[in-house]
Amino acid sequence: MSQTIHHRLHILEAADWKAGVITLLEPRSPYRPWRYAFGEARPGDYAILVLGTDPASVLTVLARVGDEGGLSGALLNQRYDADLVDLTTVAMLLDLGDDAFSSWRLDDDAAERVILALHESPIYGDPFYRWGHSSTAAARNLLRFNGICHGCLDEVDLSGAHARDQVFVHTVDPLPRPEPGLPIRAADQASGRRPYIASLREATADWPAVICRRCRDRMRDGGFRSFVAYRFAQHPACPDCGGQRTKSISYGMPFEPQSWGPWLYMGGCCPQDAQWHCDVCDHEWV
């Protein structure tokens, strides 16, 4: 006789979403924002992580209960593959009813539906999901933070008790749809449309960023409403034409090029001496 497998999915919730994300980024954090029900947890059980964003969101990577069997030690092995999805939408699509909001554990069929849905989720932190002014968008940006301020490139320590006051998320307006191409063109005429990401990096007025307290204050005191303008203001003027839109050149294979802001210039795989590129006249210099 076949044995029935009883799935159990524990729910861990951080009402303070910022503190919750910080604990995912920095295991040494003294924050303890996660709440969960006291009860039996078997080694190997799955746990779903819920953040108190508006709307509430769910991490797309599940944690696993370790050999010791305690929820306080649930392991999250693939954080860099994680993104956030709206809890209400997940509950509606999977027909979870009120259990998604009132229960601290899902069992059997309900647990299996969530586990399979998140395991098969195609969402892996795409930069396009990080635009917008909601706290969910802010949490998505912070979740991808690598510990280096996007403004000054200094390291931000998240291991202290005041980490929440040392890191800030600059959110931006939602992405507009690209302009449509011409509906009619000659057979030998190219479409003339550039890739959306390339045109976006050239034309955008703002860009989402995670910054330190000092850069947050500098933007405020300098009257910068746009992070793009703030970054370009820190770069030197072009020595040839005096242009103010100069980019810092980065060499090597770019990681997640869609995330590169317009103040960065992709210099190719082979490092060169040039450190700056002028967008106005294409001059490059050390």
Q: Please spell the DSSP secondary structure of 155-186, one letter per residue.
A: B---SSTTGGGTEEEE-BPPPPPPPP--S---
Report yes or no on 37 lying in a domain: yes
For the stretch 202-247, pLDDT in tens is: 778 899 999 999 999 999 999 999 999 999 999 999 999 999 889 9
What are 173-180's contacts with CB under 8 Å, separation 24+? Answer: 173/131, 173/132, 173/133, 173/206, 174/131, 174/132, 174/133, 175/128, 175/131, 175/200
Report yes or no on 178 lying in a domain: no
Residue 23 has pLDDT above 60, yes or no: yes
62, 92, 127 - which closes a domain: 127
Give residue 199's pLDDT. Answer: 66
Report the relative pairing of strands 46-51 and 8-14 from DSSP bridges: parallel
Report yes or no on 70 lying in a domain: yes
Provide the residue type at 54 as one letter: D
| Residue keyed to tokens 């039996």 | 40
Residue 278 has pLDDT above 50, yes or no: yes
Report yes or no on 265 lying in a domain: yes
Give residue 3's pLDDT. Answer: 46
Q: pTM surpassing 0.85? A: yes
Beta bridge partners of 239: none
Residue 100 has pLDDT above 50, yes or no: yes
Give residue 2's pLDDT. Answer: 46
For the stretch 135-194, pLDDT in tens is: 999 999 999 999 999 999 999 999 999 999 999 999 999 987 777 767 777 777 665 565
Report yes or no on 172 lying in a domain: no
Mean pLDDT for the stretch of residues 251-256: 78
Burial class (CB in 10 A: 0-12, 13-18, 19+), 169: buried
Report yes or no on 177 lying in a domain: no
The Cβ of residue 247 has, within 10 Å, a number of other Cβ atoms equal to: 22
104, 127, 150 - which closes a domain: 127
127, 142, 172 - which closes a domain: 127
Percent of the chain with pLDDT over 70: 91
Report yes or no on 165 lying in a domain: no
Rounded CA-CA distance 267/248 in Å is 9
Mean pLDDT for the stretch of residues 67-94: 81
Nearest to 37 by CA among 48, 25, 23: 48
Percent of the chain with pLDDT over 90: 60
Give residue 22's pLDDT. Answer: 97
* Average pLDDT in the chain: 87
Report yes or no on 280 lying in a domain: yes
Burial class (CB in 10 A: 0-12, 13-18, 19+), 218: middle
What residues have CB less than 8 Å from 96, skipping those under 6 apart? 90, 106, 110, 113, 114
| Domain membership of residue 12 as a residue range | 8-127
The count of domains in the chain is 2
246, two tokens: 């100069």
Mean pLDDT for the stretch of residues 257-274: 86
Beta bridge partners of 155: 148
Q: How confident is the model at residue 196 (pLDDT cuts 50, 70, 90)?
A: low
